[in-house]
Amino acid sequence: MQYHNSNGSGRKPFGRSVARSILVLGLAAATACNSLLDVTNPGVVKSSDLSDPSLAPTLDAAALGTFNCAFAQYVATAGVLSGEYIVSNSFVDANQWGWRGVETKTQPGTCPASRATTSLGFYTPMQSARFQAEDAAKRITAFTAAQVPTRANMLAELTTYAAYTYVLLGEGMCKMTVDNGPLITRDSTFKIAVAKFTAALALAQTANYAAMTNMALVGRARAQLDLGNLAAAKADAQAVPAGFVRNAEYSETTITRENRIYNLTIRNDFLSVGPDYRGLTVGGVPDPRVPVLNTGRFGNDAVTPQWQQRKFIGTGAVPMPIASWAEAQLIYAEAAGGQEAKDAINRVRASRGVAPLDGSEGSDIEAIVLEERRRTLFSEGQRLGDMLRTNIPFPSGVNHKGQTYGPTTCVPLPDVETQNNPNLRGS
């Protein structure tokens, strides 16, 4: 059964002081009243004020909310770099990612405060999420179970989500740094993630928190795959139960809590599905894993045909998977190879209503697995890491707007980091 594709027609550094400011602002947003008329200015919140057991649930919720916002920003940015999406607006802050220009170094990204925001970039949002999760875990560790009855669950959550920030930053960035520290390699970042996932597993298992146990298993399997540790990746992936999924949750109560992919691709026509993801079929029928719609109109730029993703639809509150059994099975397939890989692929296909492999896909199991990942994990922030990990070539020449592609594949550290981090100045 063959696959077919019919296309049709000058700041402060991100260090501890900035991160703590973000933490306080995030907490303020998490605890604000629903009505602006009810809000009074609480004045300055000291960092020490956050070491209060009664604030533990707020610390936990704020950290997870920051991650969810950063995750959507990562999926959008990585989607443009990897060709899942093309830019269909006319604003430079998005188009420089579309041509993969060196100018992306000026774009650390932010969690948008407006639906009309077109800027991409995920570095600052994901670093904010990392810091908040780690800081909250440190504070809650100092509390007792008597003070915070759900302490064990919170620590498992925060440690797992912190580990995920390292995986995503490792997959997306060329190099990394943490809290104004020295440069570390992508592999070093993945090793930190493995260690954090291991700690998260211990916390989740002690708390009997199945969701975090499984999320940490998927995350550690992913990080081990990134490192080339196939046996370890296979073992973790195999342990994830069928049907598991952990979603990034969104809401339309505030703009920063909305699903960014929905806003960019449906609400505003700012991104269009890339040509390689249009009209995909398996055995002559549309592939349900990559649902897209040709709207018959142009995007916001009035020149790019607007193809909508239909995977995340309905409202800006639609969730997106962070970790799932399907991903774990495909990690298992890549690590195992041979018939085990085919069996795993067929299990995932069956769960998505897709016919099993029939041999017409060819004999290159690595290529088959990567194609299955491309389709099954479409718009989940996976393809960029796959391209970098397996040396899949990026497009060259000019893009759909005639813009010449630049050298960006993995994302360089932004200027806000290299110009202000004392360990990186001049690098």
Q: How far apart are the first and last CA of the chain?
A: 50
Domain boundary assignment for the chain: 16-252+318-418
Determine the pLDDT at residue 425.
Answer: 78
| Burial group, residue 200, by CB count within 10 angstroms (0-12, 13-18, 19+) | buried
DSSP category for residue 239: T
Q: Are 93 and 107 within 8 A, CB to CB?
A: yes
Architecture of domain 16-252+318-418: Alpha Horseshoe (1.25)
**For each of the chain's 427 residues, which pLDDT tens digit applies?**
545 444 433 333 344 434 444 454 455 444 433 333 333 444 455 677 778 999 999 999 999 999 999 999 999 999 999 999 999 999 999 999 999 999 999 999 999 989 999 999 999 999 999 999 999 999 999 999 999 999 999 999 999 999 999 999 999 999 999 999 999 999 999 999 999 999 999 999 999 999 999 999 999 999 999 999 999 999 999 999 999 999 999 999 999 999 999 999 999 999 999 999 999 999 999 999 999 999 999 999 999 999 999 999 999 999 999 999 999 999 999 999 999 999 999 999 999 999 999 998 999 999 999 999 999 999 999 999 999 999 999 999 999 999 999 999 999 999 999 999 999 976 6
Q: Are strands 320-324 and 292-298 parallel, antiparallel or unpaired?
A: unpaired
Handedness of CA 147, 149, 152, 153 (dihedral sign): negative
Which among 369, 313, 307 is positioned nearest to 343, based on CA atoms? 369
85 bridge partner residues: 273
